[in-house]
Chain A
Amino acid sequence: DIQMTQSPSTLSAFVGDRVTITCRASQSISNWLAWYQQKPGRAPKLLIYQASRLQSGVPSRFSGSGSGTEFTLTISNLQPDDFAAYYCQQFKSFPLTFGGGTKVEIK
């Protein structure tokens, strides 16, 4: 199975900050990676697919990059609505696996 490791597990930031979340795969997954945002009591929401493609309707302050084993999700100009948990997910091979998550908190 491909293991996905996210860092940090928790991140404290101010509104307006630029934040970066890292996701590392235990083996190369090319660009077969997606990012999700999840708020308490809600289903996850797709932000990015194929490592860098922005899902329709997602604000452009979200961006994804990387390939192979190292990936980043960047949120520029952090907004109050962005405080949530974020997960990466690989879809290079079965079983599909998620990272452990990063919680973005208000500083």
Chain B
Amino acid sequence: QVQLVESGGGVVQPGRSLRLYCATSGFTLSDYGMHWVRQAPGKGPEWVAVVSFDGTKIYYGDSVKGRFTISRDTSKNTLYLQMDSLRPEDTAVYYCAKGGFGLWPTNLWFESWGQGAVVTVSS
């Protein structure tokens, strides 16, 4: 079955960097778009970034554009989120999520989710 396991979260000072990892199993990473979605304490989910099934298309949410970088390594079945210039408002649980089946970009829902990685940005 599909498994998504995030790691790399922690406490970091404003302006510093952090890299999140999402280990995937149970499906072929190169067959699906993969997303990062975050949720600040007490708030609803916020979409962060996506990499397409073939790795050729990448999109970001406005609040992280220019600071965060999504990538993947299909040989390691791993999705990454490099987070630079972190701000207190980036504090959240970060989920990796597997996209839906079907043709890109008609399949941009979040079919499976990991358990989340907690990121706290504070001095």
On whether the beta carbons of B111 and A55 are closer than 8 Å, the reply is: yes
A100 at the interface (CB under 8 A from B): yes
A32 at the interface (CB under 8 A from B): yes
On whether the beta carbons of B44 and A49 are closer than 8 Å, the reply is: no
- For B44-87 the 0/1 string (1 means CB < 8 A from A) is 11110010000000011110000000000000000000000000
A81 at the interface (CB under 8 A from B): no
Q: Which of B84-123 contact A (CB under 8 A)?
A: 95, 100, 105-116
On whether the beta carbons of A49 and B109 are closer than 8 Å, the reply is: yes
A18 to B44, CA, bound (A): 24
Known: A43-B115, A46-B111, A87-B44. A95 touches B61 (CB 8 A): yes
Provide the residues of chain A in CB contact with B111, threshold 8 Å: 46, 49, 55
Provide the residues of chain B in CB contact with A95, threshold 8 Å: 47, 59-62
Provide the residues of chain A in CB contact with B115, threshold 8 Å: 43
Number of interface residues of B (CB under 8 A): 24
On whether the beta carbons of A100 and B44 are closer than 8 Å, the reply is: yes
A84 at the interface (CB under 8 A from B): no
Contact count A vs B, C-beta below 8 Å: 59
Q: Shortest Cβ distance from A31 into chain B, in angstroms? A: 10
A94-B59, A101-B44 known; 9 other A-B pairs, CB under 8 Å? A34-B110, A43-B114, A44-B45, A44-B95, A44-B113, A55-B111, A89-B47, A95-B60, A96-B47
Contact surface of B with A, Cβ cutoff 8 Å: 35, 44-47, 50, 59-62, 95, 100, 105-116
Nearest 7 pairs between A and B by C-beta?
A: A91-B108, A43-B113, A34-B109, A96-B47, A49-B109, A101-B44, A94-B59
Give me 29 A-to-B residue pairs in the complex whose CB atoms sit less than 8 angstroms apart, sorted by A's number: A32-B106, A34-B110, A36-B45, A36-B110, A38-B45, A43-B113, A43-B114, A44-B45, A44-B110, A44-B113, A45-B113, A46-B109, A46-B112, A49-B109, A50-B109, A89-B109, A91-B105, A91-B107, A91-B108, A91-B109, A95-B61, A95-B62, A96-B35, A96-B47, A96-B108, A97-B47, A98-B44, A98-B45, A101-B44
